[in-house]
Amino acid sequence: MRKIVVFLIFAAVLILIGFLGNNIYSRVLNNKSSVVSPVPDFLTILFNKEVSTLNLWLPSLKNKLSANLKTPEISAQSALIFDITTKEVLYSKNPTEKLPMASLTKIMTAIVALENKKKDDTYVVSKDDLVGEDSMGLDAGEKLLLSELLYGMMLHSGNDAAEVLANNFPGGRAAFVNAMNNKVKALGLSDTSFTNPTGLEGDGKQYTTAYDVVVMTEYALTNFPLFDQVVSTFDYNIPQTPTHKAFYLENETNLLTSYPGVKGVKDGYTPEAGLCLVTYLDYGGHKIVGVVLGSDDRRGEMIELLDYSLRSLGITPPHHG
C-alpha cells in the first residue's frame, strides 16, 4: 500500500511539473525577451525516446543598438544575426515570421540522426531514397556509415542521404519526421513544422523562422562535434568500400573559402522558399550564427550582414573575396 501511495505522489508531482512547464513555455513564446529554461510537453518527453535532450537556451531578441552604422537593406524576407558569445542580436528583420526553409530542414535531420545512431552504424539505400535533383549520388543497395551520409547531406545537400537516414529509422520515415517535430518542441520552439527530412516541396506545409533556425543551429554545433566537423568542411572524399562506390563532395554555396572565420553550416533553395542560408562565423573572439530566408542574394547579403555585425562589435571585418 505504501508503494502505491508513493507512486501516486510521484506521478502527481511529474504532472504538476509538466503543467507548470507548459505555462512557462507559452509565456516564453509570446514574449521572447529573456533567456529561460523551458520545460516542454511532459508526455512528449516521457514517451518518445527520440527526444533525448532538453534545450535550456532561448535567446533574447533584444537588438544591440548600432547608432553609428547604417543598417543594411536586404531583399531577404527574414534574417537574424545572433552573437552566441555575448547573447546579443546584432541584426534582425522579421525574425519570427513563419517561412518555408528548403534544405535548412537538414539541420534537424542531422540532429535526429545523430541522437539515434544505429548500433551497427550501417544504413542501407533503397530505391525510394533516390529523390530530388540534389543528391550525393547514391545507388539502391549501397550501405554507408552515418558520418558518410552526413557529409553527403550537409555538403552536397543530398536529398538521397536525408531519405536514407529517415527510412533506416525505427518505425521508418514517418516516425523519423515525427521525431523531428518532437525535437523542435523539446528545444522550446513552436514556430517550426517539418513534413519530410529534405525540405522538398509537395509533402504538406512546412515552415520555420530565422529565430528557430538559430536555436536549432546552436544546439547542433554545441552538442555534436561531428556536425561541427562536417559543416566546416569544404570538400570531402569518401573512398570506395565493399559496400559502396567512391564519392567526392563539395560545399559550393557557403562562405568557407571566401570569408575568413566562416565555418559553414547549410544553404537551401526551392521556388517556394527562395534562397536560404545559415552561416556560422568564429572571428575576433565572437561566435556568430546568421540566418537569411527568402533572399535574392544569400551570399552577398550574408557577407553584408556579417560585416555590419562585426563593426557593431567594434571589430574590423576580415578581407574577403
Q: What is the pLDDT of residues 80-91, one digit of tens each?
A: 999 999 999 999
What gap in Å lies between CA 281 and CA 279, rounded to an integer?
6
> Would you say residue 304 has pLDDT above 80?
yes
Enumerate the active-site residues.
103, 106, 157
Average pLDDT over residues 272-295: 97
Return the higher-pLDDT residue of 1 and 124: 124
Instruction: Check whether 94 has a pLDDT greater than 50.
Output: yes
Each residue of 168-188: pLDDT tens digit?
A: 999 999 999 999 999 999 999
Instruction: Quickly list DSSP for 90-132.
Output: EEEESTT--B--GGGHHHHHHHHHHHT--TT--EE--GGG--S
Residue 101 and residue 193 in contact, taking contact as beta carbons nearer than 8 Å: no
pTM: 0.82
Which set of grid coordinates corresponds to residue 8? 501516486
| Residue-level pLDDT at 254 | 83
| CATH code, residues 78-312 | 3.40.710.10
Domain map (residue ranges) of the chain: 2-47, 78-312
| Contact (CB, 8 A) for 108 and 224 | no
**Cell numbers linked to 148:** 558518410
199 touches 206 (CB < 8 A): yes
Three-state DSSP at 55 gives coil
Q: CA 236 to CA 155: how far, in whole Å?
A: 8
